[in-house]
Amino acid sequence: MEKVLKRIEVTVGGKTLTCEEGLSLGELFATAGIKEAVAARVDGRLVDLQEPLKEGCRVEPVFLDSPEGLEIYRHSTAHVMAQAVKDLYRDVRLGIGPAIEEGFYYDFDTPHRFTPEDLPEIEKRMKEIIEEDRPFKRVVMKREEAVRLFQGLGEVYKVELLEEMDEEEVSIYRQDGFVDLCRGPHLPSTGWIRAFKLLKIAGAYWKGDERNRMLQRIYGTSFPDEGALEAYLEHLEEARKRDHRRLGRELDLFSIEEGIGPGLVLWHPKGALVRSIIEDFWRREHSRHGYQLVYTPHVALSDLWKRSGHWDFYRENLFPPMDIEGREYIVKPMNCPFHIHIYKSRLRSYRDLPIRYAELGTVYRYERSGVLHGLLRVRGFTQDDAHIFCRPDQIEEEIKGVLEFVVYILRAFGFDEFDIYLSTRPEKFVGTLDNWERATNALASALKAMGLPYQIDPGEGVFYGPKIDIKIKDSLGRSWQCSTIQVDFNLPERFGVEFVDRDNTHKQAIMIHRALLGSMERFMGCLIEHYEGIFPLWLAPVQVRVLTITDRVVDYGKEVLQDLLKNDIRAELDDRNEKLGLKIREAEIAKVPYVVVLGDREKEGRTLSVRSKRRGNLGSMDLRALVDLLKGEIEGKVSGLRSEEEVKK
């Protein structure tokens, strides 16, 4: 007897359609005249177009120009790359291959040592697979059946992943003879992939744990068309030129030495000078904004961190304890408990609040070696940290004050675009739900009062409270996490942080954690890349380099150098017996903002021939004119630090 297919109602594109049960989503979209969808969202669940309709539902097409569509596109490209690698090399075992923010990667365990020369061959095989237009087929099976399947294929990493799963059923994807464990969804077929590029090779520990086997990771990216891919590759090349690790080495700013330890930064004289200028500005502005500067130790008894909660909630990022005279110490991961103890060193009145403590405090956190990255991810770094102790009725006003301060400081360094996120309660947290709600509402109210647009970042608050994160955008449009503001009811409760109120009773103070730059290391890395190493004049470690053409003018060069130094201009003299062209090129490479060239004519006329890196040849001028020009720029009249009034505009 022929089975009668049930008719079901489906809402798609704002219209309700009646169709037969079992119709695929791809067929449904074709019926509805919807083209170029790569997947679908069925009652909020992301699925492949091959998925059959089983009951009435609401269906939304997912297009390639959406974030979900692009992620599916790139994840499918990762599968194609994995198949190509399996086709080309023997004894390849698959790790994982997710889409990431700007592309994808796949981890491989193979005796073959990948080199950059292998990538074109892998790309060639990928293009063949794409041209064959192989469908991505989803198969659902019992977990035990999938374990047997991947055991038979020798895919030990897939077996390990399966054995850690709780689900009774799992999905695999096939494209011709290639099989992979995957939740999906994927593109309808490999032929949908139009433009891709393999980028680099790196090592990666299985599951990110250095105790596991090191795998080989191939990174790539893919885009819906060649034009978008070319634009991205140009962007990558620009980012490569700005890489702070390369520029830090070329400009002699900092180094990280294996003999010292991974993630521990050595600041060279020029880098230390830039950092010192930033820190001096930071201290001056904090004093102007009502903060008191403090200093705290680098180590403390582990009991302090147990009481604060870091021992329980942050243990994996703490360095191992040290035994000193039978007592357990650790290097500090945070500054906040120290600031609390300074606050508690005397009785505080409601009239004393708010109290704002600020510190450039160096902290130490155990980051796994695989995630360390130049100045951006280190193990020892200096936070531009501050803690505000206030009454409950002062919270919103203090947060507004911090937001104004953040915007002023970041704009002073040339950052005018921000993305702001309000991070809410995570799964693991301390404190009461009522306090969490009060803190979150205070942050949201301050943002609204300031007229600052923001997005909610659910579950990304710290364990002790919600937070505002401010990400700056650099000259390439990339986002950098710098500033953060966190409201904390928990630590004041744990440490008994109180004040005497108007009615002579003891009340619990509120604590606001905040950082404006984040850390000196990360902010310096960001600055280097933002300016491509060409710092604004007020930050440049060497503001002027004086070049002599002949030995006859060396004495005049020394005189000019001394005059510049007396006028607080950071200058140096290149009086080597070398060709002028070489000296100019070296000054260009060193990204010195101004170059002064001295020859017989300049010596005779007591003049200077001046070149600006940004504006080219400025011609001849006397020393006073040059000093006035430089001081005007340093004071903010051209491209240096602007006034607070200008910044606020």
Is 363 among the domain residues? yes
pLDDT at 559: 96
Is 1 among the domain residues? no
Residue 385: beta bridge partners?
A: 359, 515
Going by DSSP bridges, is the β-strand pair 178-181/254-255 parallel, antiparallel, or unpaired?
unpaired
Q: Kindly tell me the burial class for residue 299, based on how many C-beta atoms sit within 10 Å of its own C-beta (0-12, 13-18, 19 or more).
A: middle
pLDDT band for 302, please (50, 70, 90 cuts).
very high
Q: How many CB atoms lie within 10 A of CB 164?
A: 8
Could you tell me if 326 and 342 lie in one domain?
yes
Q: What distance lies between CA 169 and its chain's CA centroid?
A: 36
CATH of the domain at 457: 3.30.930.10
Angle, nearest 10°, between helix axes 433-450 and 395-412?
Answer: 50
- pLDDT at 179 exceeding the cut of 60: yes
pLDDT at 549: 96
Tokens matching residue 596 = 């002064």
**Per-residue pLDDT reduced to its tens digit, 551-586:** 999 999 999 999 999 999 999 999 999 999 999 999
pLDDT at 1: 44
- pLDDT at 473 exceeding the cut of 90: no
Catalytic residue among 75, 356, 365, 642: 365
CB 329 within 8 A of CB 355: no
Catalytic residue among 48, 180, 385, 575: 385
Side chain identity at 309, as an amino acid letter? G
Higher pLDDT, 648 or 378: 378
User: Closest Cα partner for 606 from 564, 553, 527, 546?
Assistant: 553
The fraction of the chain above a pLDDT of 90, given in percent, is 74
pLDDT band for 640, please (50, 70, 90 cuts).
very low
The fraction of the chain above a pLDDT of 70, given in percent, is 97
Is 648 among the domain residues? no
pLDDT band for 5, please (50, 70, 90 cuts).
low
Is 642 among the domain residues? no
Buried b (16+ CB within 10 A) or exposed e, 533-566: bbbbbbbbbbbbbbbbbeeebbebbebbbeebee
Could you tell me if 156 and 288 lie in one domain?
no
| 118 a catalytic residue | no
pLDDT band for 508, please (50, 70, 90 cuts).
very high
Higher pLDDT, 489 or 498: 498
Please state, in angstroms and rounded to a whole number, the distance separating the CA atoms of residues 72 and 182. Answer: 12
Could you tell me if 294 and 419 lie in one domain?
yes
pLDDT at 535: 94
pLDDT at 587: 95
CB 218 within 8 A of CB 79: no
Could you tell me if 15 and 116 lie in one domain?
no
Span 539-546, average pLDDT = 96
Is 569 among the domain residues? yes
CATH of the domain at 615: 3.40.50.800
pLDDT at 34: 87
CATH of the domain at 170: 3.30.980.10
Catalytic residue among 286, 467, 522, 583: 467
Catalytic residue among 79, 387, 530, 570: 387
Is 100 among the domain residues? yes
CB 481 within 8 A of CB 452: no
- Local structure of 535: helix, strand or coil: coil
- pLDDT at 430 exceeding the cut of 80: no
- pLDDT at 639 exceeding the cut of 60: no
Query: Strand ranges (DSSP E) for 121-243?
Result: 137-142, 169-175, 178-181, 195-205, 214-223
Please state, in angstroms and rounded to a whole number, the distance separating the CA atoms of residues 198 and 555. Answer: 56
Catalytic residue among 50, 216, 383, 543: 383
pLDDT at 371: 81
Could you tell me if 513 and 586 lie in one domain?
no
Catalytic residue among 244, 270, 379, 513: 513
- pLDDT at 56 exceeding the cut of 90: no
The domain total for the chain is: 4
With residues binned 3-state (H G I as helix, E B as strand, rest as coil), the percentages for the chain, rounded to 5, are 40, 30, 35
pLDDT band for 12, please (50, 70, 90 cuts).
confident
pLDDT at 313: 79
pLDDT at 465: 85
Q: Tell me the helices (H) and strands (E) count for the chain, helix number first.
A: 20, 33
Could you tell me if 160 and 262 lie in one domain?
no
| 235 a catalytic residue | no
**Per-residue pLDDT reduced to its tens digit, 280-289:** 999 999 999 9
CA separation, residue 516 to residues 115, 340, 406, 510 (Å) = 41, 20, 5, 19
| 298 a catalytic residue | no
Residue 331: beta bridge partners?
A: 299
| 385 a catalytic residue | yes
Average pLDDT, the chain: 91
Could you tell me if 392 and 301 lie in one domain?
yes
pLDDT at 220: 97
Could you tell me if 482 and 549 lie in one domain?
no
Please state, in angstroms and rounded to a whole number, the distance separating the CA atoms of residues 414 and 352. Answer: 35
pLDDT at 146: 96
Tokens matching residue 141 = 């099976």
Is 189 among the domain residues? yes
End-of-domain residue from the set 19, 47, 62: 62
Could you tell me if 191 and 312 lie in one domain?
no
Please state, in angstroms and rounded to a whole number, the distance separating the CA atoms of residues 122 and 99. Answer: 18
Tokens matching residue 376 = 């951006």
| 336 a catalytic residue | yes
DSSP 319: P
pLDDT at 336: 93
- pLDDT at 646 exceeding the cut of 50: no
pLDDT at 418: 86
pLDDT band for 108, please (50, 70, 90 cuts).
very high
| 513 a catalytic residue | yes
Tokens matching residue 445 = 């109210």
Could you tell me if 235 and 258 lie in one domain?
no
Domain that holds residue 55: 7-62
- Helix (H) or strand (E) holding 636, with range, is none
Could you tell me if 416 and 304 lie in one domain?
yes
End-of-domain residue from the set 493, 508, 530: 530
User: Closest Cα partner for 54 from 84, 76, 23?
Assistant: 23
Catalytic residue among 19, 182, 336, 482: 336
pLDDT band for 208, please (50, 70, 90 cuts).
confident
Is 482 among the domain residues? yes
Side chain identity at 52, as an amino acid letter? P
End-of-domain residue from the set 242, 271, 301: 242
**Per-residue pLDDT reduced to its tens digit, 385-422:** 999 999 989 998 999 999 999 999 999 998 988 899 99
Could you tell me if 58 and 95 lie in one domain?
no
User: Closest Cα partner for 103 from 216, 236, 244?
Assistant: 236
pLDDT at 369: 78
pLDDT at 434: 85
